[in-house]
């Protein structure tokens, strides 16, 4: 290696640039593979319709023409074709598609609907691998942990699969085991998605309000929880504690002695999937009451606890013989802080009572819409969105659809994406679908409305506000010594070392800050790569 190259590679800045070049080359190659796969499903419309640089759009168009569309796709909608392409690309892209299913502001409402049908089902891995993973996790033989273990899994998804078993103390349990090598596979796919998000954020300033990096960060946090089954067990434990005394909504107990990073064991629950309406009716269950109980449980999770099950598809909800709803699978959970809960409750009540001035005021007060925007204009836009939906028969009103429609005006009013609400919107959409399948004549949000109003009245009462202020003051007093110590350390460091500026800051101050425009050579490189892909 020439001496000057060696010195460049040894220099920290040179090494960082080299690593960046290697990462870019690796990800560009993967992007070409992805584009080619999506092109074969005739689903490159999102990129074709975008404002990407001309060389890239030319390359995409060329790939679409040369890739050769797979048969049997002609009768599918665009979103259905995209869903099939993402399923072909693997687990990380299935998760991305599920995340995009709540971003109708990005992909449009029809495509978002089609992506919401993405199923996270994959062929199971071998029982031998499952047993080996259990023995490696606990350093015990399978026989020391379970008296029986079913070889055939009851469910297999992209991250893990579930086997039924009986413990050595005769307790029926469900055992969830991560797929072999799944951590590395997801790490590579998340690195690619983050690189793409960073590129969008850097080269397309108009897209920054959509917070692509934060969306990927949210996806990464969700995947991280699913990759460490101890975190999922802790989430299940917390939800169990929140509903321990509730007879209508139940959560299985976690078996912590047989739970580790790659294996989760929980109490086995029995029941009928919540969407098997005919079987439930034949068993004598009150279907309308089931919807009411589901609405109540969802309300309690979101507003009372600020901690909710965010994967409420029918496979995760069972109805036991007593009519209680049994929830399983706690890999995807959502949290909402108390202040956001207040805003959300006011927003929902504002829409349900057609008080659009309140809706607009809440959005501005919460900071979702900049204070510089016209409150009256936003109220007018909210009315235009809500009236066509709220004017439908009660059974057809969809608050989740209303929120999705609201996102369509985000650019006009400079609204930024709120990542903490994306998971909630998706969950609302799925819950609505389950409720309608159970009892089409019932609107679950109307059932929950009195609960929300009572909660707001109690939570916003002077007594409640005073108690909350006292609690926050107590927390501040507890943290005060640490804050003083940190402040003292910072002053001492400043006095000794002075102020140190990052090299990028120095460049910016000297007028040498590089342009954030997409370099012509980057667009040309991607276009060439796309041409190579179809050659």
**Which residues, including other chains, have CB under 8 Å from residue 509's CB and lie 6 or more apart?**
501
Is 114 one of the catalytic residues? no
> Which secondary-structure segment (H or E) carries 219?
helix 212-227
Question: What CA–CA distance (Å, rounded) separates 328 from 312?
Answer: 9
Identify any residues that bridge with 176 across adjacent strands, giving them in sequence order.
Answer: 162, 264
Among residues 77, 75, 79, the alpha carbon closest in space to that of 111 is found at 79
Question: What CA–CA distance (Å, rounded) separates 421 from 441?
Answer: 27
Give the Cβ contact number of residue 467 at 10 Å: 11
Question: What CA–CA distance (Å, rounded) separates 405 from 77?
Answer: 20
Question: What CA–CA distance (Å, rounded) separates 453 from 250?
Answer: 25
Q: Torsion over CA of 282, 283, 286 and 292, rounded to 10 degrees?
A: -110
Contact by Cβ (8 Å): 175, 189: no
Maximal CA-CA distance, the chain: 82
Give the Cβ contact number of residue 18 at 10 Å: 14
∠ CA 357-359-361, nearest 5°, is 70
Among residues 255, 257, 318, the alpha carbon closest in space to that of 285 is found at 318
Token couple for 321: 């013989």
Question: What CA–CA distance (Å, rounded) separates 277 from 283?
Answer: 10
Supply φ then ψ for residue 237, to 5 degrees.
-65, -40
Q: β-strand 272-273 against 263-267: which pairing, if any?
A: unpaired
Question: What CA–CA distance (Å, rounded) separates 258 from 297?
Answer: 29
DSSP state of 450: H
Question: What CA–CA distance (Å, rounded) separates 103 from 101?
Answer: 6
* Burial (Cβ within 10 Å: 0-12, 13-18, ≥19) of residue 309: buried
Question: What CA–CA distance (Å, rounded) separates 182 from 167?
Answer: 27
Among residues 65, 92, 97, the alpha carbon closest in space to that of 81 is found at 97
Active-site residue (options: 113, 201, 255, 311): 311
First to last CA, the chain: 34
Among residues 218, 158, 228, 231, the alpha carbon closest in space to that of 190 is found at 218
Handedness of CA 217, 218, 220, 224 (dihedral sign): positive
Catalytic machinery residues: 311
């Amino acid at each position: 290696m020439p001496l000057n190259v060696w010195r460049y590679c040894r220099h920290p800045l040179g090494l960082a640039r080299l690593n960046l070049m290697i990462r870019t080359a690796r990800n560009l190659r993967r992007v070409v593979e992805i584009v080619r796969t999506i092109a074969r499903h005739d689903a490159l419309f999102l990129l074709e319709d975008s404002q990407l640089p001309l060389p890239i759009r030319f390359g995409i168009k060329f790939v679409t023409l040369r890739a050769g569309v797979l048969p049997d796709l002609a009768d599918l909608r665009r979103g259905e074709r995209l869903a099939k392409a993402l399923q072909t690309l693997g687990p990380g892209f299935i998760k991305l598609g599920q995340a995009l299913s709540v971003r109708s502001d990005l992909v449009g409402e029809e495509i978002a609907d089609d992506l919401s049908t993405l199923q996270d089902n994959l062929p199971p891995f071998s029982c031998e691998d499952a047993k080996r993973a259990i023995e490696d996790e606990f350093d015990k033989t399978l026989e020391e942990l379970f008296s029986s273990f079913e070889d055939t899994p009851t469910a297999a998804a992209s991250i893990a699969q579930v086997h039924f078993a009986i413990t050595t103390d005769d307790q029926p349990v469900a055992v969830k085991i991560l797929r072999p090598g799944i951590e590395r596979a997801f790490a590579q796919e998340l690195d690619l998605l983050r690189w793409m998000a960073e590129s969008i954020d850097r080269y397309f300033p108009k897209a920054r309000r959509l917070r692509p990096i934060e969306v990927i960060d949210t996806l990464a946090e969700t995947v991280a929880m699913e990759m460490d089954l101890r975190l999922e067990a802790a989430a299940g434990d917390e939800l169990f504690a929140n509903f321990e005394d509730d007879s209508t909504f139940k959560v299985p107990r976690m078996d912590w002695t047989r739970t580790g990073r790659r294996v989760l064991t929980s109490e086995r629950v029995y029941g009928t999937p919540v969407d098997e309406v005919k079987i439930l009716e034949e068993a004598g269950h009150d279907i309308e009451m089931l919807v009411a109980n589901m609405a109540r449980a969802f309300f309690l999770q979101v507003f009372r606890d600020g901690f909710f099950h965010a994967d409420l598809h029918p496979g995760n909800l069972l109805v036991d013989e007593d009519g209680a709803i049994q929830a399983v699978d706690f890999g995807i959970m959502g949290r909402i802080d108390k202040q956001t809960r207040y805003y959300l409750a006011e927003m929902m009540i504002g829409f349900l009572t057609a008080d659009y001035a309140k809706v607009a005021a809440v959005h501005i007060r919460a900071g979702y819409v900049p204070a510089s925007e016209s409150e009256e204009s936003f109220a007018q836009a909210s009315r235009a969105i809500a009236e066509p939906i709220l004017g439908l028969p009660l059974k057809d009103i969809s608050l989740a659809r209303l929120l999705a429609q609201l996102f369509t005006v985000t650019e006009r009013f400079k609204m930024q994406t709120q990542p903490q609400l994306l998971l909630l919107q998706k969950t609302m959409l799925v819950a609505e679908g389950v409720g309608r399948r159970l009892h089409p004549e019932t609107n679950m949000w109307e059932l929950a409305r009195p609960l929300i109003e009572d909660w707001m009245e109690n939570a916003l009462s002077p007594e409640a506000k005073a108690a909350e202020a006292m609690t926050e003051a107590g927390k501040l007093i507890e943290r005060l010594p640490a804050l003083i110590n940190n402040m003292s350390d910072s002053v001492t460091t400043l006095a000794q070392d002075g102020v140190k500026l990052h090299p990028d800051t120095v460049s910016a101050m000297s007028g040498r800050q590089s342009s954030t425009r997409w370099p012509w050579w980057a667009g040309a490189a991607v276009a060439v790569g796309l041409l190579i892909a179809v050659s």
